Amino acid sequence: MVTTLTPELVNEVLAREFVRRVQEARKQADFEISDRIKIYYSSSDNMRKAADQFKEYIKDETLAVLLDGENIPDRLPNMSDEFEGETVTLWLEKI
């Protein structure tokens, strides 16, 4: 059986990887599992497309009230990672 990876499927995988990185950053920041957050990020183009396409999924899974890839905070990020040729840098803010 041959499975063709459609652009939507690739973006869904990237969105899940994005969520995983946010959850890791939440844990490292010592946030409670129920804390609402704001997510600021910079990323590679493909990751940005996936985050845009699956914005509501990412927000729901991470309890984020904001997912912002435009306004980068003027402080050190919580996390940076590279995987599958994609990059993401995250700034999390507990609200």
pLDDT tens sequence across 24-48: 999 999 999 999 999 999 999 999 9
Question: What pLDDT does 2 receive?
Answer: 65
pLDDT tens digit sequence for 60-93: 999 999 999 999 999 999 999 998 899 999 999 9
Residue 1 within a domain: no
- Judged against a pLDDT cut of 80, whether residue 3 lies above it is answered with no
89 contacts 47 by C-beta, under 8 angstroms: no
pTM above threshold 0.85: yes
Q: How far from each other are the two terminal CA atoms of the chain, in whole angstroms?
A: 47
The answer to whether residue 86 is domain-embedded is yes
Contacts of 9 (CB under 8 A, 6+ apart): none
CATH number of 67's domain: 3.30.2320
Domain count within the chain? 1
Residue 5 pLDDT: 85
pLDDT of residue 18: 97
Range of the domain at 48: 7-94
Does residue 78 lie in a domain region? yes
2 domain-assigned: no
